[in-house]
Amino acid sequence: MTPTDLRILSAFPPPPGEVYGLDLIERTGLGAGRFYPSIANLEAADLIASRFEGEHYPRRRMYHLTPDGLRRRFEECQSAPAGWPALEGR
């Protein structure tokens, strides 16, 4: 798992919380160019899931941790060294 992946997973609210993609960008401090490829990889790995909210354009994409994502976030945070950059401010 990359530091970017862990930064994204660490930004999620506790389950069953969902968060809007732009809110995750703000929480992580990542630019869109780093955020969107990483979140696509996390979704492909079944660590997060998403759904579209609303009937009108533009629809919001809401993300939430899967059970595997929650477990993986816990494991990675437990094994990360203190002060690891991905966890700063989290």
- Which domain, by its residues, includes 38? 3-79
Domain count, the chain: 1
Q: pLDDT under 50 in the chain at which residues? A: 89-90
84 in a structural domain: no
How confident is the model at residue 15, as a pLDDT? 79
44 in a structural domain: yes
Other CB atoms within 10 A of residue 57 CB: 5
Tell me: the pLDDT tens digits for 49-64? Answer: 999 988 877 888 999 9
31 in a structural domain: yes
52 in a structural domain: yes
73 in a structural domain: yes
Question: Which CATH number covers residue 37?
Answer: 1.10.10.10
Rounded Cα distance, 59 and 28, in Å:
22
Q: What DSSP character marks residue 5? A: H
85 in a structural domain: no
